[in-house]
């Protein structure tokens, strides 16, 4: 079987398993079987319905890790798909199926790149590992963060980590993520006094009370960003008040909001500013904070040099380093890894109906991963 067809075959086998988060549905058994045959030691870490795999070959430094997830988001309305989302289907030079881009195609490329590299260079320097979870698309509580806790407890640190997130935009290789913004969410409940709209003097409208505070928040300059990150942003994602009647002043206002913040800011500072503005207007409120992830950045170093050169060699594209987009499991891995890069296929159809990947890109992706291994572990 050719290298190209083996990547395609593995990708299809993974897509055919209905691994809707946090169910792995047997994907990691396929992965571990391949790795066991090339000398990896595999450990499964399960908790609360989440399946995690830590597979490692060797014990020397540096430690190179491929990280990814087998879980996928629900397919939605099956009738809206051209073909069954869990029956990988080739059509017009693409493979269609839920998770093919996010991120079972990357995992297939990881596996074949690793297999080819180990078979060609069995006495390579350092060690290689794969960290795979089934809890990235969901709560992300018992997934990669749990494995990172296990690694810390066993004094295992990662030197280089490539996360297979679908980072490319228009063409494979055009975008590589060398960091991510932090994410801080807030659930705010403002208390007022319910009453009749004809007697506002007997009520207290929390929407009206909150309006000047919201104006201050929206006009606040959080920071200017820096060379790696854009300025911090604040967005309201949900807002609700009232019971649907037009003649009732509501007694409560619920607001959900989110910060995407740079390394120029901190969660504590963002919280402090919000509380100071709310307190300025003497509002009665409860505010619950959820820190989804701290910002992280990998500056110039051997990993960036290796993968950018590999992308250029395989695609003839000079990749752009970016910190845009949402959070990823890199937010957990950064606690134990010196250098992290995210690189994978095009993301234009992820989480959408008719998710797909260009067939030819799978082999190119595998070659980029393999070339990166060679540049870092054959020194």
- As a whole number of angstroms, the distance between CA 15 and CA 81 comes to 15
Please check if 223 is assigned to a binding site: no
**Tokens 């691994």 found at:** 19
- As a whole number of angstroms, the distance between CA 371 and CA 377 comes to 10
Please check if 275 is assigned to a binding site: no
Please check if 69 is assigned to a binding site: yes
Please check if 165 is assigned to a binding site: yes
Cα torsion 30, 34, 35, 36 to 10°: value is: 100
- As a whole number of angstroms, the distance between CA 336 and CA 356 comes to 33
Please check if 102 is assigned to a binding site: yes
Catalytic site positions: 71, 136
In terms of Cβ atoms closer than 10 Å to its own Cβ (0-12, 13-18, 19+), residue 190 is buried
**Tokens 């994602």 found at:** 237
Residues 6+ apart with CB under 8 A from 253: 189, 190, 192, 206, 207, 210, 239, 240, 241
Retrieve residue 126's tokens.
């350092």
- As a whole number of angstroms, the distance between CA 75 and CA 95 comes to 15
Centroid of chain to Cα 77: 24
Which residues define the annotated binding site for Zn(2+)? 69, 102, 137, 165, 351
Which residues define the annotated binding site? 69, 102, 137, 165, 351
């Amino acid at each position: 079987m050719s290298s190209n067809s083996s990547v395609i075959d593995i990708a299809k086998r993974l897509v055919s398993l209905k691994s809707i988060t946090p169910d792995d549905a047997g994907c990691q058994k396929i992965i571990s079987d391949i790795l066991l045959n090339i000398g990896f030691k595999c450990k499964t870490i399960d908790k609360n319905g989440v399946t995690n795999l830590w597979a490692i070959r060797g014990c020397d430094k540096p430690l190179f890790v491929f990280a990814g997830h087998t879980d996928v988001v629900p397919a939605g309305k099956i009738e809206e798909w051209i073909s069954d989302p869990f029956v990988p289907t080739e059509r017009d030079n693409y493979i269609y199926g839920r998770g093919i881009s996010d991120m079972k195609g990357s995992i297939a490329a990881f596996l074949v790149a690793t297999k080819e590299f180990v078979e060609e260079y069995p006495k390579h320097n350092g060690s290689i590992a794969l960290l795979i979870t089934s809890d990235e698309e969901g709560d992300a509580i018992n997934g990669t963060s749990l494995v990172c806790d296990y690694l810390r407890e066993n004094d295992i640190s990662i030197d280089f980590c490539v996360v297979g997130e679908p980072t490319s935009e228009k063409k494979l290789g055009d975008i590589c993520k060398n960091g991510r913004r932090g994410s801080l969410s807030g659930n705010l409940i403002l208390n007022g006094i319910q009453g009749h709209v004809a007697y506002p003097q007997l009520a207290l409208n929390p929407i009206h009370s909150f309006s000047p505070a919201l104006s201050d928040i929206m006009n606040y300059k959080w920071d200017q960003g820096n060379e790696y990150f854009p300025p911090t942003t604040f967005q309201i994602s949900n807002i609700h008040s009232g019971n649907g009647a037009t003649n009732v002043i509501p007694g409560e206002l619920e607001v959900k909001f989110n910060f995407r913040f740079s390394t120029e800011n901190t969660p504590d500072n963002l919280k402090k500013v919000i509380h100071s503005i709310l307190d300025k207007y003497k509002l009665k409120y409860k505010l619950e904070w959820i820190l989804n992830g701290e910002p992280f950045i990998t500056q110039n170093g051997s990993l960036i040099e290796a993968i950018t050169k590999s992308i250029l060699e395989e695609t003839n594209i000079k990749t752009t380093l970016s910190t845009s987009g949402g959070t990823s499991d890199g937010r957990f891995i950064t606690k134990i890894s010196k250098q992290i890069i995210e690189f994978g296929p095009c993301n234009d159809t992820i989480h959408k109906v008719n998710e797909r990947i260009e067939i030819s890109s799978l082999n190119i992706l595998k070659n980029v991963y393999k070339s990166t291994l060679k540049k870092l572990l054959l020194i």
